[in-house]
Amino acid sequence: MVFSILVTAPPVGGSGAAAALRFARAALAAGHGVRQVFFHGDGVAALVAVDPPGGAPDLAAGWAELSSAHGFPLLACETALARRGLDRCAATGPVRPGTLGQFMVALSDAGRVVQFRD
């Protein structure tokens, strides 16, 4: 199975953003594929490198590592970045700015879409 993952959960204040990363790791470990991960809404903040509070995982580093190891793209919605005052370059690692149109096009290559939100 090939998954396309949509992350709309903020990196703090809930568990959705961290759950998305855990899901991707588990899916890949089980032999599944990831077509892309698209970060939209408050989810774009998960791609900004920060010092995570109190032992929380560094989501930006985790996504960058997983994407590099398995060759799938990380797309951050340009509009969501702008609306939150985040520069397109604020996202780190292999993240590319993207659009909902790119997300929709990639869905044709995915067997399932999984969304993580809080």
Active site residues: 77
Taking the C-alpha atoms of residue 110 and residue 87, their distance in angstroms, rounded to an integer, is 29
Alpha-helix runs per DSSP H in the chain:
16-29, 59-70, 78-83, 100-107
Kindly state the tokens that stand for 23.
């899901």
Question: Letter for the amino acid at 34?
Answer: V
Give the dihedral sign, CA 55/84/80/41.
positive
